[in-house]
A = this chain, B = another copy of it.
């Protein structure tokens, strides 16, 4: 009973249904001009043969692959990115796009991997935790493939970008530290060539400098262990800091662990720590991390909408969007009077959750 024929084609279905191949194609094309009666004949024949349209052939014919290329880094080192990947791929999925995934290392050169995406004529490209050489940006522009950067500021006007306001985030951290009476400040950087780390550092530093203060800078390599080690170095300094801002949560957690378990410091009594992202772990009772929350849902909605819009209207210009983050107050940093754990402070408002 089960037909042993592998991968029936529209022509075979057509023959069985007694119609033309065009009719079969139309039966599977929403909105095509076809009588309900013939559609039913076709669908029946298709089912009998186990027919399923060949998306590869369709792509060739329509010049639309319905595939989005996603490039992502740090998937194992920072829980923020699995979160991003999950949300992105669900969104695209839901909106009828498939996802071709490339997992890269932070420092891997995209110039080798973007061509692999372009080979498959992806309809659009989304880069997360990865940057784009301007040569590649031009190449994509030339080919008419829209590119969106997520969580990286744009190096080139050819691409869209969706970021949290990192500079303002850094400022918020600095202000909270200063308001609650800290004296020595430090920033644990992710790397020296990543916009997220650089901008968060810059906001933090500039806000301190307004008050004549200067933070220590240590390199945490965007990893738990790197930040763990950075914290130990900081604590060896003659005037060790009592306020440490980290370029992301996973490093903040590394710092916390180092302070508590290797340096026997009380957090936040002796040292305060603030992170960035608000990953789920930040809310765990072992950490209770005060942090700047990236409004990931909103950022992703915007990024997906923008990319799909640019795919469908090729005249549309790329867009750069900066979304404000919220300061989530927990208990890894000393609080100024009047504030208690559980508050969320956004740039424009303060609301309890």
Contact = CB atoms under 8 A, between A and B. Distances in A.
Contact of A56 (B79, B85, B121): B121
Contacts of A133: none
A142 B49 CA distance: 11
Instruction: State the oligomeric state as a number of copies.
Output: 2
A6 B59 contact: no
Interface string A222-258: 0010000000000000000000000000000000010
A352 interface: no
A317 B228 CA distance: 48
A23 B116 CA distance: 22
A143 B224 CA distance: 45
A119 interface: yes
A105 to B, nearest CB: 9
Contacts of A82: 75-76, 79, 81-82
A121 B82 CA distance: 27
A69 to B, nearest CB: 9
Interface stretch (A92-100, A187-195, A209-217, A297-305): A92-100
Given A4-B142, A118-B52, A121-B56, A224 B101 contact: no
A346 interface: no
A103 B50 CA distance: 26
Contacts of A339: none
Contacts of A70: 101
Interface residues of A, number: 53
Interface in A252-273: 257, 260-262
A50 B142 contact: yes
Given A50-B142, A76-B82, A102-B89, A261 B280 contact: no
A32 interface: no
B115 A103 contact: no
Contacts of A79: 76, 79, 82
A85 B74 CA distance: 12
A344 to B, nearest CB: 20
A121 B257 contact: no
A284 B60 CA distance: 50
A54 interface: yes
B65 A76 contact: no
A53 interface: yes
A54 B89 contact: no
A12 B289 CA distance: 59
Contact of A54 (B102, B115, B119): B119
A333 B209 CA distance: 49
Contacts of A90: 103
Contact of A59 (B4, B56, B101, B116): B56
A337 interface: no
Contacts of A118: 52
A93 B103 contact: yes
12 contacts: A6-B143, A50-B143, A52-B119, A55-B120, A55-B121, A56-B59, A56-B65, A60-B60, A70-B101, A76-B86, A81-B82, A89-B101
Interface of A: 2, 4, 6-7, 50, 52-57, 59-60, 65, 67, 70, 75-76, 79, 81-83, 85-86, 89-90, 93, 98-103, 115-116, 118-121, 139, 142-144, 224, 257, 260-262, 280, 284-287
The 8 closest A-B pairs by CB, nearest first: A261-B285, A55-B119, A101-B101, A82-B82, A89-B103, A55-B120, A56-B59, A99-B101
